[in-house]
Amino acid sequence: MAFNRRTFLKRSAVTTTGLAALVGSAGTAAASDVPLVSTRGHFDDDGNLVSGKGTFTYDTSGDVPGVDTSCVGDLTVFVHGWDKNSDDPEQAAHDKISHAQSELAAAGYDGTVVGYTWDNDVGGGLDYGWSEAKDAAQGNGPKLAQFAVDFAYDCPDADLRFVSHSLGAQVLLSSLRSLDESSWWNDGGYEITSTHLLGAAQDNEAPTKESVEGSWDTYGAITDQTTGSFDYHSHEDDVLQWIYNSYEFDQALGETGYEDGNTPAPNYTEFDATSQVGDDHSGYLSNLSDEIVYHMNHVDAYV
């Protein structure tokens, strides 16, 4: 599949500091039933950027609102998770993106959904590439942040939302930390209207004040870069139990919710979806789209 290449282009009307790049160019195209932002092929099997791919660059399918076509009033970016099982991980990602679009629409979301597809199948070895996939996920944060800046530049009055599944949470939260470093974004008073973490394959301390360590201030990024953030977890999610017990020696946000006794970001809300999702790690959208759309429509009631 051929994508149009997007690279950083500094706007003459905008000055940036800190993230020296979070303002970008226009671009074009790829075939899918849902518009796509893509960084497929940007990361190697070690989870590192390949030669010729920049920290903030991304590709599009040519029909992404704001950056390729006219603005929409409400845009949701869906970020898929890890995949080491599919014969065609890219197609599987497209299928998950299409599923997200159809489930949210059926639940009454009347905005536009685009997919964010990334190198979720890199790596190998005893952990099946989990470590490398985490590195690729973290490396995608600045790229998703760049997209947010591009969209805000062209559509300053629109609502922008992020929804992630599983390891996609690390892409999403990394993007918020990147936005936290963009003077252009912050001086303009921009925020992500809402974020929705489904079965997050992310440490359960992440959204709490106690997690702040060096530059990893996810608590501050959620507080300052989103109007409202929502987490949906299942205590019976055995995929997350397996991953975090085996590889992280810890517990996942998508299994337990935030760590007991910690202080979550003030605009962060948790939804215990155990009764709806059970042990079906792939079942969050199928079972929770009504709740997600309700939260989208009533963000102000939770902050």
What is the set of domains in the chain, with CATH numbers?
9-302 (3.40.50.1820)
How much is the pLDDT for 246?
84
Ordered alpha helix ranges (H), the chain:
89-106, 130-154, 168-179, 183-187, 218-225, 238-243, 253-256, 274-277, 284-297
Q: pLDDT over 70 for what percent of the chain?
A: 88
The tens digit of pLDDT for each residue in 7-59 reads: 442 332 333 333 434 444 434 334 568 999 999 999 999 999 999 999 999 99
How much is the pLDDT for 13?
33
The tens digit of pLDDT for each residue in 122-167 reads: 888 888 888 999 999 999 999 999 999 999 999 999 999 999 999 9
Is residue 60 over pLDDT 80? Answer: yes
Q: In what order do the strands lie in the sheet with 112-117?
A: 4-6, 58-60, 36-38, 112-117, 74-79, 159-165, 192-198, 226-233, 268-272
Q: Are 117 and 39 in contact (CB under 8 A)?
A: yes
The tens digit of pLDDT for each residue in 197-228 reads: 999 999 999 999 987 665 569 999 999 999 99
Contacts of 124 (CB under 8 A, 6+ apart): 45, 132
How much is the pLDDT for 22?
43
